[in-house]
Amino acid sequence: MKRGDNAFLILKKEFTGIKRNVLMKNHTTFKIGGPAEYFLFARKRRDLLRAIRIAKKLKLPVFVLGGGSNLLVSDNGIKGLVVKLQNKEPIILKRRNIIQTPAGIQLGKVVQFSIDKSLQGLEWSGGLPGTFGGAIRGNAGAFGGEIKDSILTVEALDNKLRLRKLSNEQCRFSYRSSIFKEKNWAVISAELKLVKGIKKNLKNIANSHIEYRKEKHPLEYPNAGSIFKNVDFRKVTLKIQKLFLDKVKKDPFLIIPSAWFIIGAGLAGKKIGQAQISKKHSNYIVNLGGAKAKDVLKLVELIKKKVKNKYNIELEIEVQFIGL
């Protein structure tokens, strides 16, 4: 019996829903990615913890998948076990302004829960895709807000399978990153501390951001969100500051959207295979149908090279590459 067959039999004995060679393109917003060697839905916290522990004993790599946004998966797929969070556990209002949320729930549902309870602090994220855990991992942000602003504590599983409860400070949040992204720890749940607000106002803000995304972002095509982090206004030369002064935004500090550098490099609309730099929002690469990870990577490298040559700026990747 092959080693892979033996691992599958052990996993199958523990989890009847385990599958082999599941195409990751069916589980990412980019609709790109080859087969996961083993694939499991974890609907409860205990299922996730048990799956990770068993995989570690079998010496299988483990990747915990949330909503599949902000990811580019290799055309060759992923070795080891992919555990997709599909929480059925509820969001809990622990006190007047503190909520506890499982990692696998869609961020939009957490936003809606907070608005229903007239709690302010998440309305900026209206329309953001992905799971709550993914938002924590990448310290998601938009319209001047960031997920770190509301985090009280985060429960996560570290690389030694220890369950940790981290304070906001211990999460080491930075621009579009955290300790969980740096160390590849699995976010399990978190507590949010919000403030009382006016439900109608919060709903209007969230809805306006949803409409903005529909209008300005290429949501009609599969994509992984922004490919590059925006550029810190304080870290560029005075010449670049002057050149893009009318493009500056707060996110949450002053930034120049990376899309403007890509446009300036003459790359809007550029295609390789079925991957294209969006004309609608040039910090997005879209899948026109059947795009490959290798095509996206070529576009990413082209953007980095052209922007570096023209502006002497190194764009930083925001999307996570898996198996590449």
The answer to whether 128 and 108 have CB atoms below 8 angstroms apart is yes
Which are the contacts of 323, defined by CB distance < 8 A and separation ≥ 6?
34, 73, 74, 76, 77, 78, 79
Q: Is 182 a catalytic residue?
A: no
Q: Is 3 a catalytic residue?
A: no
Of the candidates 74, 178, 226, 258, the residue annotated as catalytic is 226
Q: How many CA atoms lie within 13 A of 115 on its CB side?
A: 20
Which are the contacts of 279, defined by CB distance < 8 A and separation ≥ 6?
268, 269
Strand partners, 321: 72
| Cα 153 to Cα 264: distance, rounded to the nearest angstrom | 41
The dihedral over CA atoms of 288, 294, 300, 303, expressed in degrees to the nearest 10, equals -80
How big is the CA angle at 151 (ends 171 and 204), to the nearest 5 degrees? 140
Q: Is 186 helix (H, G, I), strand (E, B) or coil?
A: strand
| Cα 318 to Cα 287: distance, rounded to the nearest angstrom | 17
Which are the contacts of 260, defined by CB distance < 8 A and separation ≥ 6?
244, 247, 282
The answer to whether 211 and 301 have CB atoms below 8 angstroms apart is no
187's enclosing H/E stretch is strand 186-193
Length of the chain: 324
| Cα 263 to Cα 254: distance, rounded to the nearest angstrom | 20
Of the candidates 176, 178, 189, 258, the residue annotated as catalytic is 176
**Is-cis flag, bond preceding 61, omega within 30?**
no
Task: Report, as residue numbers or ranges, the catalytic residues.
Answer: 176, 226, 318
